[in-house]
Structure 1
Amino acid sequence: MLRSARRTHALESAVTLIAPAPTGIDLLRELEQVVAVELDRHLAIAKEWFPHEYVPYSRGRDFDGVLGGEAWRPEQSELTEVGRISLTLNLLTEDNLPSYHFEIANMFGRDGAWGTWVHRWTAEEGRHGIAIRDYLMATRAVDPVALERSRMEHMEAGYHGDHMDHPLHVVAYVTFQELATRVSHRNSGRECGDPLAEQMLARIATDENLHMVFYRNLLKSAFELSPDAAMRAVSDMITGFRMPGHGISGFERASLKMAVGGVYNLRIHLDDVLQPVLRNLKIMERCDLGAEGEQAREELAAFLAVLESKAADFDERLAARKARAAARGA
């Protein structure tokens, strides 16, 4: 009888040892406790702020149309060209918040800690669009008609990212995307030529950084629960990464201006977005990967090597471009 009990216990232990790592809904349930902890941490750190405090309403005046005001003209904008392009692109990206909320709420759910976080995140992101739009209108920084038409076009197209049907891929994507958005906002402020806009975008960037930390900590816990699947998600999302505003009309042209203007380019993407997260997660030092995870890591390492080469090439071309501009100026 004793030997039978021991044999049963051994079989149960073996099953436990070879039990597959949680994925899909099971993984979301496993992460729920982490979400609750991270939500409490976020609420304790996040500071309340108000969009209207960053909008110079005294500089505003009526536009043409129903109110019979003054039509917008390009010379009314005091922003630099790259600043105007960056703020417009950032705003149009923020405008598509309903699509992002739909995707994330469908994946993570609307109940429990997950649901509380999804709604809180959406509310905080909503402030960003309010602040940027009101600032742009009050300062006449952009063409209001063109902006509204772009908003309608972008929102009508909706948003559905690559691999957004897999929970871990979503967590991996938003981790890098939130940091990319933070960097883009912060650099846009530095390059826009208006101290008030820089202050506003720094405030928004602070929110985005807190969002990144939330998701990064979830991703770190996911590595502990399912390291191979987490590594695959990180590799897939980095090798196929696209900003959520990639569907905006004229995105490529605007992105080129931002790249040359030092707002967001390959070097910034690699050094200020990808590498900080990868270092924090100790991606290249992990010893808990199986064959699938190792393969995903090898694919990632190969991609990063190619990206470094492309970034170095971009750096050289940008330096040459600046040298030619300086020569012309002289």
Structure 2
Amino acid sequence: MPRRDMHVQVTHSMPPQKIEVFKSLENWVEENLLSLLKPIDNNWQPQDFLPDPTSDGFYDQIQEIQERTKEIPDDYFVVLVGDMITEEALPTYQTLLNTMDGTSDETGASLTPWAIWTRAWTAEENRHGDLLNKYLYLSGKVDMRQIEKTIQYLIASGMDSKSENNPYLGAIYTSFQERATFISHGNTAKLAKEYGDTELAKICGFIAADEKRHETAYTKLTD
């Protein structure tokens, strides 16, 4: 059997006194992070952009999506699928955040500001993959079963972000991830508009706006 190189995972690298610093920032989190969250009742939801299955025009609306997307080139959909798969790996990102010393959600329903932020951020992000997944499915342009397998493989594989259970390193990682997703969704919005699918452009634009707001939160932690 061929030898497999195993990289060494560094864990819990932050000293106890620095963990206490993060715990002491709970009031700051309430004022600076939780304030960036939008009330759920005021938030957009995926269904706001999708055909209404209870309406008489449901099938016509699906046909409109397929008409709008049929001329969009395949390489655009490669990027859009990549964006969607990234969003669908949300369980991995929440798991990562809950490995951080001093900021993790220790019960799954903790009332600490750090835990509230993680759950609320996850809940806002969850809409992104839901919406893109459904739109891609309705477009009829992609092999959804292969995409679903890829998502399952990705989540099952997990990820080592090299954060060492250190919330400061974790914030650096998430800041870059949010910036990258903001840029990517912004670019797909612009291209969708150029290709004539203004509804898809709107979808990608709304997701990009969320990512920018989340980037603002995580960069505050690193300032």
- Structure 2, unaligned stretches of length 5 or more? 1-14, 52-57, 64-68
Greater relative contact order structure (CA < 8 Å, 6+ sep): 2
Q: Does 1:199 align with 2:211?
A: no
Instruction: Figure out how many residues of one structure are paired with residues of the other and give that number.
Output: 186
Residue in structure 2 matched with residue 101 of structure 1 by the alignment: 94
Q: Does 1:53 align with 2:53?
A: no
The TM-score with structure 2 as length reference comes to: 0.75
Residue in structure 2 matched with residue 211 of structure 1 by the alignment: 214
How far apart are 1:167 and its partner, in Å?
1.6
Cα deviations by residue, 1:91-142 (Å, 9 ceiling, x for unpaired): 1111111111011022121230000000000001100011000111111131
2: CA distance between counterparts of 1:176 and 1:84? 23
How far apart are 1:26 and its partner, in Å?
1.8
Pairing of 1:80-159 with structure 2 (within 5 A): 80-107=73-100, 108-110=103-105, 111=110, 112-159=112-159
Larger helix share, 1 or 2:
1
2: CA distance between counterparts of 1:214 and 1:23? 24
Residue in structure 2 matched with residue 321 of structure 1 by the alignment: none
Match for 1:48: what amino acid?
Answer: N
2: CA distance between counterparts of 1:189 and 1:208? 13
Residue in structure 1 matched with residue 161 of structure 2 by the alignment: 161
Cα 1:51–1:203 change in 2 (3 A) is same
Residue pair 2:161, 2:173 contacting (<8 A) in 1 also = no
The TM-score with structure 1 as length reference comes to: 0.52
Cα 1:138–1:34 change in 2 (3 A) is same
1: CA distance between counterparts of 2:164 and 2:204? 28
2: CA distance between counterparts of 1:55 and 1:198? 13
Residue in structure 1 matched with residue 3 of structure 2 by the alignment: none
Identity %: 28
Please identify the structure whose Cα radius of gyration is greater. 1
Cα 1:164–1:177 change in 2 (3 A) is farther
**Root-mean-square deviation over aligned CA pairs:** 2.3
- Structure 1, unaligned stretches of length 5 or more? 1-20, 62-75, 221-330
Cα 1:214–1:22 change in 2 (3 A) is farther
Q: Does 1:179 align with 2:217?
A: no
How far apart are 1:23 and its partner, in Å?
5.6
